[in-house]
């Protein structure tokens, strides 16, 4: 019988996990064991610190539900989410860059018509965002669905508000045959990530900014093209250089132009001051 020692425990654990029936699972688990053991040795992990980490993970699981993904938030603030995105979406430099999904995407957003208002009368400066969806060759992508979501002017998503149990500030728009899209919403504001959970508690123990710059989320999934998960950020917004989830990219920063009451990009009119932004998404063909 081989006795376990501090010197051989890693090799023994790797040997056991290498028996996984799926080769990729074996690769993942043996690498994970090695890195975890190396981490513990590097920092001389104490039993109290190990137990604190276990309790933190337990609390993270308990606060997570169908509306709140605290583990995704943890991955985001550690930079892991953005690293995985960039490794798995090595797009053409001309294609729109991908960013993190974030913890607040939900399925089943309402489908709205070209130029329809997804803000449902919520307070804020009206924003018309419009442009085209095209491929790398410049061809329009018609019939593409843009799944869009954002926070309100208090920096909150509906899942963070106890009395709200319906989708708001989120919608799906379908591009026209010429690739054009147009949506109406309210101008986003920067906001803090949720600080009332284990991730927020950990962030509060550092000098890390817990704010995100003003942005709107997009998920564009069109048959024949690489799916695109990305954000658009307001030019000049605070925290562009210190986004807590590392999601900001220069190619995704958009100018918001102030407009007087009058004609709007959807062919209608508006009787209050509003803001206009334009962005053309470029999709990369699959394969």
**Is the distance from CB of 149 to CB of 114 less than 8 angstroms?**
no
pLDDT(145) > 90: yes
Structure tokens at 163: 């009395």
**Is the distance from CB of 233 to CB of 256 less than 8 angstroms?**
no
Q: For residue 133, what are the β-bridge partners?
A: 281
169: left (phi over 0), alpha (psi -120 to 50) or beta: left
What is the tens place of the pLDDT at every residue in 62-94?
999 877 899 999 999 999 999 999 999 999 999
pLDDT(165) > 70: no
Distances (CA, A) of 20 to 11, 24, 38, 180: 15, 9, 21, 49
Q: For residue 111, what are the β-bridge partners?
A: 172
**Is the distance from CB of 96 to CB of 164 less than 8 angstroms?**
no
pLDDT(160) > 80: no
- Give the chain's domains with CATH numbers: 9-74 (no CATH), 80-283 (2.60.130.10)
Task: End-to-end CA distance of the chain: give it in Å, rounded.
Answer: 52
**Cβ within 8 Å of residue 68, ≥6 positions away:** 103, 159, 160, 194, 197
Q: Residue 27: its pLDDT value, please?
A: 98
Helix (H, G, I), strand (E, B) or coil at 239: coil
Give the side-chain half-sphere CA count within 13 A for 41: 11
Separation of alpha carbons 105 and 124, rounded Å: 22
Separation of alpha carbons 130 and 61, rounded Å: 39
- Quote the pTM value: 0.89
What is the tens place of the pLDDT at every residue in 12-69?
999 999 999 999 999 999 999 999 999 999 999 999 999 999 999 999 999 998 778 9
């Amino acid at each position: 019988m081989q006795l376990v020692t501090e010197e051989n425990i890693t090799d023994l654990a790797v040997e056991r996990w290498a028996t996984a029936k799926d080769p990729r699972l074996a690769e993942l688990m043996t690498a994970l064991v090695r890195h975890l053991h190396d981490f513990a040795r590097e920092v001389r992990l104490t039993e109290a610190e190990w137990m604190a980490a276990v309790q933190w993970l337990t609390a993270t699981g308990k606060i997570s539900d169908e509306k709140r993904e605290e583990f995704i938030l943890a991955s985001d603030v550690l930079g892991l989410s953005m690293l995985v995105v960039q490794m798995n979406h090595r797009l053409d430099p001309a294609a729109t860059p991908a960013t993190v999904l974030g913890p607040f995407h939900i399925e089943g957003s309402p489908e709205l018509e070209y130029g329809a208002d997804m803000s449902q009368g919520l307070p804020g400066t009206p924003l018309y965002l419009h442009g085209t969806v095209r491929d790398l060759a410049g061809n329009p992508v018609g019939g593409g669905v843009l799944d869009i979501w954002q926070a309100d002017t208090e920096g909150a998503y509906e899942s963070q508000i106890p009395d709200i149990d319906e989708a708001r500030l989120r919608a799906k728009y379908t591009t026209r045959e010429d690739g054009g899209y147009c949506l109406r919403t309210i101008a986003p504001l920067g906001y803090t990530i949720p600080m009332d959970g284990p991730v927020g508690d950990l962030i509060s123990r550092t000098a890390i900014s817990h704010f995100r710059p003003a942005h709107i989320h997009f998920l564009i999934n069109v048959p024949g093209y690489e799916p695109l998960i990305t954000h658009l950020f307001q030019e000049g917004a605070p925290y562009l250089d210190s986004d807590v989830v590392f999601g900001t990219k220069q190619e995704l920063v958009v100018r918001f132009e102030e407009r007087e009451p009058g004609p709007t990009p959807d062919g209608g009119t508006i009787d209050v001051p509003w803001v206009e932004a334009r962005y053309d998404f470029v999709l990369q063909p699959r394969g």
